Structure 1
Amino acid sequence: MEFNPKRRTSNIILLISAFVIVSLILWNTNIFFEKFKQEERLKIENWAAAQAEIDNSPVDQELGNLPVQILQNNSSTPMILVNKDGTVKTHNMPKELEEDSIKLQKKIKKFSKENEPIAMSYKGEELAMLYYGNSDVLNKLKYYPIALLLIIFLFAAVIFFFFKTNKASEQNKVWAGMAKETAHQIGTPLTSLLGWNELLKSENINPDITKEIEKDISRLQTITERFSKVGSIPTLEVHDIVEETKKAYQYLKRRSSKLIHFSFSSEIEELPVLLNPPLYNWSIENLVKNGIDAMRGKGNIAIQIERQGNFVHIMISDTGHGIVKSEFQNIFNPGVTSKKRGWGLGLSLVKRIIEEYHKGKIKVFSSSKEGTIMQISLKANV
């Protein structure tokens, strides 16, 4: 189950629309670039024709103003003129380039890639080859789509960050509100249960009964404390990670079906870690219960603690049906669940407790048809 399927469809439509608009802009820009380039080539061809006419006209022949104007009007396009006799002349480029043959050859190769050279001829006789590069305007236009994409990307990133922050803020308010209201609602019957249990003790009934009731009352108090901490920054204190994990393990083992086989192992005896025990134990319980649900109430649950450098890894494995690899990240999102009656909040809550409150990491370590291993990683306080 996922929240707001209509919003997701709208987001997909919006994304496709944005992609189409950007594609049209880039397509039109490319057409404009090619058209501008063709016009610039025509201008260079006219320049080459005018230069050939001026260079090969008799000295005593009077030339019109048109060839001269054509030459004078082209002051932006860099050009290299290689005459038939091998002499080189540059236009709209530093004059010292003519004396550096290596740089000159590099420029000629570069210009050849940018534009096809123009053969200059006069009355059917080839006189020279004209190599030319893109003008400053054309170069700027060439990088315009990249700049446009960058602007669009930055704009989209700002919008995405805004909506993500806004969504997270709304979720936080919902989380805090629901949690505090739940803690409040549990508090009233809990107080009543304490009174009834004291009354039972005075009736001289079997003490084992009242002891078990006290355990359940203590459990309800723990649950109330957990919910009251959601939405506020919990206090972290140094605790032994092995002992705290064992507590959660033993509680679940005593209250689970006999069809579930539990096992616990640790390669370390103790390790101090900054923890909030009620919230950490809640995380372990959620992961174990998810594993039990995946096994449909029958199978093996194993908890293993390993140390690697400054980090401790708590591995919770089950023998359930497994998780598809494409869902490894998605399962931690609110509203995502494979259960028909589930709300999809358990793993989202665990991720919040481990990563936001304890500054650790949680992930699907591995998963197959034989089962799943979830890994919690926390930094040791040493």
Structure 2
Amino acid sequence: AYHPAKAWGIALSYATTSRGGCHLGAYTIAFEILNSPEYVSPEDAASKPSLVKRMQDAFAIYDSAIICKYHSLALFLSLNFELDDLAKAISAATGLHYTDEELHRIGAMIIDVERLFNISAGLTPEHDTLPRKFKVNLAPLLKEYYKLRGWVNGVPRREAIQLRKPKPAKLGELAITPLRRFTPPQVQVALDMDASIEVICDIAVKAYSGGARLIEAGTPALKRHGADNLVPALINSIRRYCESKGEPYEAIVVADAKTMDVGNLEARIMFRSGADAIVVLAIGGDEKIFEALSEAIRRDRAIIIDFIQVEDPLARLEDLARKLKGYEPWVMFCLHRGISEHIRSRGIHDSKTLIAEARKIAGNFLLSVAGGIKEGTAKEVASCGAEVCVVGSAIYNSTNPRETTQRILQEIREHYPLRS
């Protein structure tokens, strides 16, 4: 179906697929031609052994579950060829707890067993080739492919095939979204910094050590460093701190992408980098919001809808609260007065009536408030019932970010009204 001399991935897949030269052993055309889930050049040979192996393992699970592989075009979110959706479905059907990692391990074993069957039927590694007329030399790729599979000269080790029964799934076990992992009120530190990753991570760790649990990769920092660099660095820095203190990791990393279009694509990029939540703008149409929300639900993540520059934030909030009813676990609203606005005037804490009314309209949705909040003014926001106070320069420009975070957190806890 596809010429193997023009794409290294499909060539290697043809040569190694258990049932012969079938393009569905690993449909590498998805990423080599169709840009799904992301583009990899057909001429890039070096990456293909690992990609072909990973996709073959995933497709072995699709075959075993008797599921059409074309679903993978929608379900694979990255080149890791995730099986999270299938893991949830199989867990629900069997009562056993399956994960993406466990299913990929089982998929690899299935390939091993198929390989041993073929060898017992008379096939050998010498058959891992293509007709000479294609003039494709797969030897270097096969060497790496065998190594990744743990095969010795193309033959699996029988002792590597170890069956183990997954643990029973807990009755009523449900995924917990990031917005249900913290107890209000909380501080979200907005790292809107034009600084190195090392400096940004240092501030993040200090704010986290002071009690902040929502760590925001601010828009300027995301634009300077990129999500794939900044978000993992923040996560790893905080994890190292937690490990050094013997404490559980409780950070919720927010990617302030300020998404205005293609909500599904931008959410996928941010979630793939490790972010727990993405910021989507309320201004404009609804489509981007629902696109980002669909990605959040699939990956047990969350979206924060930012009302910056919305002409009538209360009317827009009422509209979205009505449309999004039932999605409270995945959505938080953010009443926001931007930096450019609040440096010319007072911060949003001066709009207590607006905040209180927004809190009332939000209902069961969480509400965060951002814009010039600092010590002495955070209490004004908290007293209106906002669950999250977003604090930026008051923390990262302070001489002691840890102690500043502690004081602001204490301030909002003392003034936050208890809600039934």
TM (norm. structure 2) is 0.18
The structure with the largest alpha-carbon Rg is: 1
Decide which structure has greater strand share: 1
TM (norm. structure 1) is 0.20
Decide which structure has greater helix share: 1
